[in-house]
Amino acid sequence: MAVGIFDSGLGGLTVLEAVRKRLPEVPFVYLADSAHAPYGVRTPDDIYALTKAAVARLWEEGCDLVILACNTASAAALRRIQEEGLPEGKRVLGVFVPLIEALTERDWGDNSPPREVAVKHVALFATPATVASRAFQRELAFRAIGVDVEAQACAGVVDAIEEGDMILAEALVRSHVEALKRKMPAPDAAVLGCTHYPLMEDAFQQALGPQVKVFSQAGLVAESLADYLDRHPDMLGAGRESRFLTTGDAAQVSDRATAFLRRKIAFEAA
């Protein structure tokens, strides 16, 4: 009954922590493609190929449902993977839709036509590849009209977080927020479009100001997944144990993950 969680590195652990708390009875297999991280500066074809291979690896672990807990993979690879056809009984979901459903005040899985919403000016902070894909704007247009989105590519933030340099990460956040405000001085809401960024949520909020509502993904994805599994209980795969897998150096990734979550995490070689 395992569910797969995939990320290029450690950012998806923020999603994993939230879904574990929300669904404590479900085992999760987490796969970090640490050998090829970060994805945010790769080409769409590279991201697609790497994501497809990772999804196949999680299917091997008995995970019929795989969550791409990586906005870059969700933006650059998810639609292509879905459109080319999935094996019978397998599903791959991304992390954009739960965020947009919350932003547009929709119930989970509400696919009704787009409509006007309260939020009119949205700041999107994401990796360069996510920004270039315009996937967030595309998914938002399916659900809302009249919303202005200004995107800011946050180069360097993921690398700083992965290296544990939070002072540099905070400085970069402030710099990127200042750059965004030059283009959109008064956003109504801000979207943290990378699963690493919840670790910097306070820094984003402080730089943006208390009047800006900040949307972060982990809790939203957890609630959306719980709702999805209620509606599709057959998507709990055959896997029975939680595992942490990485394509990188398992000992090094384990040390970084332990520091990242402040609890002992032991990765195995994928």
* Residue-level pLDDT at 240: 83
Active-site residues, by number, are 70, 194
Which residues in 127-227 belong to E strands, given as ranges? 144-145, 148-153, 189-192, 213-215
What is the C-alpha to C-alpha distance for residues 182 and 123, in angstroms, rounded to an integer? 12
* Residue-level pLDDT at 94: 94
CA dist 269 → 5, 15, 67, 254 (Å): 16, 21, 20, 11
Pair 29, 61: CB distance under 8 Å: yes
Topology match between the domains 3-95+218-269 and 97-215: yes
Residues 6+ apart with CB under 8 A from 141: 114
The alpha carbon of residue 20 and the mean position of all alpha carbons in its chain are separated, in whole angstroms, by: 15
State the Cα torsion 49-52-58-59 to the nearest 10°: -140
What is the C-alpha to C-alpha distance for residues 74 and 102, in angstroms, rounded to an integer? 17
* Residue-level pLDDT at 176: 98
User: Could you give phi then psi for residue 244, rounded to 5 degrees?
Assistant: -120, 120
What is the C-alpha to C-alpha distance for residues 28 and 243, in angstroms, rounded to an integer? 7
Task: Spell out, as residue ranges, where the chain has pLDDT lower than 50.
Answer: none
What angle in degrees, to the nearest 10, is found between the helix axes of 13-22 and 250-261? Answer: 60
What is the C-alpha to C-alpha distance for residues 50 and 226, in angstroms, rounded to an integer? 27
* Residue-level pLDDT at 249: 96
SS3 113: coil
Q: Does domain 97-215 fall into CATH 3.40.50.1860?
A: yes
How does pLDDT run across 85-114, given as a tens digit for each residue? Answer: 999 999 999 998 999 999 999 988 888 999
- For the chain, what are the domain ranges? 3-95+218-269, 97-215
How does pLDDT run across 216-233, given as a tens digit for each residue? Answer: 889 999 999 999 999 999
- Per CATH, which fold does 3-95+218-269 belong to? Rossmann fold (3.40.50)
Pair 255, 11: CB distance under 8 Å: no
